[in-house]
Structure 1
Amino acid sequence: MFLTRFRLNTARMGARRLISSPQSMHAAVMASFAQKPDHRGAGPRVLWRLDEQSRSEVLLYVVSPDRPDLTHLVEQAGWPTTGGWQTKPYGPLLARLAADDTWAFRLTANPVHSIRRHDAEPTKRTAHVTPRHQLDWLLKRQVEAGFEIVEKAERRPDGLDGVWHEVVVHHRGDLAFRKRNESEARAHKVTLTRVTFDGRLRVLDPDAFRRTLTSGLGKAKAYGCGLMTLAPAE
């Protein structure tokens, strides 16, 4: 496994087009591999995420089973003569994960749930729209994903007594774009909600957590969701 970071040059039209179109960015990321990645099954896959630190600083992160070649991205959306990308082996970090380790994390995800108004109606996938429900979506998945978000049993930021979690929900964005599958003659509209979580977690099950880091969490992985990255916890 490899972890790659690439900074986009937001002054270039190619970079702005990629930032505004998850489908175009997905295609550009997949084009980084000489052999098309196989996403069938539940094993490691290509995951990507955009971190918009500011209007002029946008970083692309990619986790992948194979080492990528981002030459085409540098040429159309980077600094061809002075810029590049950084790729590091991901295996050493994955191998040293242990139960009770504490890490700072960032996750961009597509928090959705299935609803229906009556029994005869088919279920419909719907996005959670409030920070409370978006956080609940993550909390319901944390144990199965091999981690738990750190808790503090003290007065919460909203002034109420009880347990609160060391996580912030931010950068909620609703995306709408048109997608055409190879078997379709006409493109159809895709809408999704992306939310970023920043916080601290504790590892519960190292093997399950490694699967989360390499296979992603939640839906819409092709469109910049599901990738969790770690940093040393302060």
Structure 2
Amino acid sequence: MSLYLSRIRLARAPDTAALAHLLMPPEDNARIAAAHRLIWSLFADAPDRSRDFLWREDGGAGWQRTTFLVLSARPPEDLRGLFEIDEPKVFAPALSPGQRLRFRLRASPGASEMRPHGQRGKRIDPLARALRDLPREARGGERDAVTQAVGAHWLRRQGAGAGFRLAEEAEGEGGSRPLLRVDGDAWRVLPRDGGRPVRFSSLDFEGELVVEDPAAFLAALARGFGRAKAFGCGLMLIRRP
């Protein structure tokens, strides 16, 4: 399967600029909901089309500087002239076992409660559960450490089925820790026409990984990681150190 990586911005033409605050509202939740619709418009060639792309908002203050990075099975098509799209690049990284890569990932972690006899229960937010289990008076001081620990545990489990492991650095007394920073802990409530709001949390991961199975890793990059992939989560960006 071919993959394409595209860099996309709203067009700066006067007619688009006049609609900028409607197309990209300044409030975070409204902006993510609007961006979800905008990016879908680039791939909505049929009413029953399934999502075959991942995207994320990538920096920039104000709509003029906001950039979207999109990984897709098809090149985007701007039929309405709303965007500036750099020439999509074929995404086919040369990967090998043992290769180290830097990465960035915004993801919405999820886990399933385990029921008796190994049955899976309802989906939960592992970070929210871990923070809830702390004594109330400890939550503020422990939040960063818990976020780091829960995020690292979740990403290690992702890697076990996706052909990679987290790179680690040595610590004292023979121990090690992952080359990973976990930030964010953002909670999103997105409006949805005619339905209940979309609710999810997201974390930002940045660190270094080691490729173990190149084919499995590339397939996982195409699928994305975690939940809320239609809302700007799940796209892992990689580069050589």
CA displacement 1:171-227 (0-9 Å, x = unmatched): 3311002335xxxxx411221001111111111001100111111112211111111
The 8 Å contact of residues 67 and 87 in structure 1, kept in 2 or not, is answered as no
Aligned counterpart, 2:160: 143
> Which residue of 184, 187, 191 maps to 1:178?
191
Paired residue for 2:7, among 1, 5, 20?
5
Q: In the alignment, residue 3 of structure 1 is paired with which amino acid?
A: L
CA contact (8 A) 2:24 2:35 kept: no
Counterpart in the other structure of 2:72: 64
TM-score by length of 1: 0.76
- State the one-letter code of the partner of 2:188: L
Q: TM-score, normalised by structure 2?
A: 0.74
Residues 101 and 117 (structure 1), Cα distance of their counterparts in 2 relative to 1, 3 Å cut: closer
Choose 52-61 or 161-170, whichever is displaced more: 52-61
- Read off the aligned partner of 2:40 and give its amino acid letter: M
Which residues of structure 1 form unaligned runs of 5+? 40-44, 79-83, 181-185
In the alignment, the residues of structure 2 paired with residue 23 and residue 89 of structure 1 have an alpha-carbon distance, to the nearest angstrom, of 26
Output one character per residue of 1:114-163: Cα deviation in whole Å (capped at 9) or x when no partner: 237999xx9332223333112211111112111111111224xxxx9721
How far does residue 59 in structure 1 lie from its aligned partner after superposition? Answer: 2.5
SS at match of 1:92: coil
1:31 corresponding residue in structure 2: 41
Q: How many residue pairs get matched?
A: 207
DSSP 3-state at the match of 1:33: coil
User: 1:8, 1:60 within 8 Å by CA — same for their partners in 2?
Assistant: no
Residue aligning to 2:57: 50
* Residues 29-58 of structure 1, C-alpha deviations (whole Å, 9 max, x = no match): 12102524434xxxxx21111123556743
CA deviation after TM superposition for structure 1 residue 70, in Å: 4.0
CA distance in 1, matches of 2:10, 2:96: 34
Counterpart residue number, 1:126: 124
Structure 2 residue 104 is matched with structure 1 residue 106: yes
Is the contact made by 2:189 and 2:200 (CA closer than 8 Å) also made in structure 1?
Answer: yes
Q: Give the Cα separation in 2 of the matches to 1:223 and 1:232.
A: 27
The alignment yields a C-alpha RMSD, in angstroms, of 3.0
Percent identity of equivalent pairs: 27
Worse overlay, 122-131 or 21-30: 122-131
Answer whether contact 2:5 2:91 (CA < 8 A) is retained: no
Structure with the higher fraction of residues in helix conformation: 2
Contact persistence 1:2–1:89 (CA under 8 A): yes
